[in-house]
């Protein structure tokens, strides 16, 4: 993760259409500095933020939205149900995400989460704030996690749709 430059902050505002709330830094950027994934604070104004990694690239967002519209989420969830190896890897990704969120979290946020009684919530909710770890919920969050860390759903998106070859302008 890196502190965003002034130019990156301008790009992020353009990507999101607003100033970001709870921005901890840029987790992943292109070689030219265009932010792809933001790392978010876990607690924003004493409320849990639902995700550690936020996909901010408009180009990736649009490509993934088209994949979601095609029904691929239901397809991959059916595969998770039928394929023990895929499900095991995906559940391991969920636990790794929870562990990484705690590791990257500011100490003062950890303390405040405990004071507010949110500790169990942060242990139960996985990628994108999902409680049922065998569901995908949002391909954008899965892909953001893939770019910033490791995620089998993101790997499949790259393999099947070649998102990693997409030209990123914004």
pLDDT tens digits along 100-135: 999 999 999 999 999 999 999 999 999 988 999 989
Report the alpha-carbon angle 16-160-30, nearest 5: 40
Give the pLDDT score at 149: 95
This prediction's pTM: 0.94
Token pair 């965003």 is found at 4
Give the pLDDT of residue 23: 96
Q: Coil, strand, or helix at residue 42?
A: coil
pLDDT value of position 9: 95
Mean pLDDT of the region 147-167 = 96
Residue 6 to residues 12, 36, 138: CA-CA distances in angstroms? 10, 16, 29
pLDDT tens digits for range 92-104: 999 999 999 999 9
């Amino acid at each position: 993760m890196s502190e965003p430059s002034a130019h990156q902050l301008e790009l992020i505002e353009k990507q999101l259409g607003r100033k970001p709330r709870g921005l901890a830094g840029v987790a992943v950027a292109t070689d030219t500095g265009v932010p792809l994934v933001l790392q978010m604070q876990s607690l924003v104004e004493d409320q849990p933020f639902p995700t550690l990694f936020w996909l901010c690239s408009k180009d990736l967002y649009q490509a993934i939205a088209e994949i979601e519209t095609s029904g691929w989420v239901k397809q991959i969830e059916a595969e998770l149900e039928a394929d023990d190896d895929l499900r095991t890897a995906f559940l391991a990704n969920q636990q790794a995400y929870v562990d990484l969120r705690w590791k990257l979290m500011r100490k003062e946020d950890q303390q405040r989460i405990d004071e507010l009684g949110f500790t169990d919530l942060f242990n139960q909710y996985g990628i994108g704030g999902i409680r049922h770890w065998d569901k995908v919920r949002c391909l954008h969050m899965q892909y953001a996690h893939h770019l910033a860390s490791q995620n089998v759903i993101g790997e499949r998106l790259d393999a099947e749709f070649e998102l990693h070859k997409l030209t990123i302008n914004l």
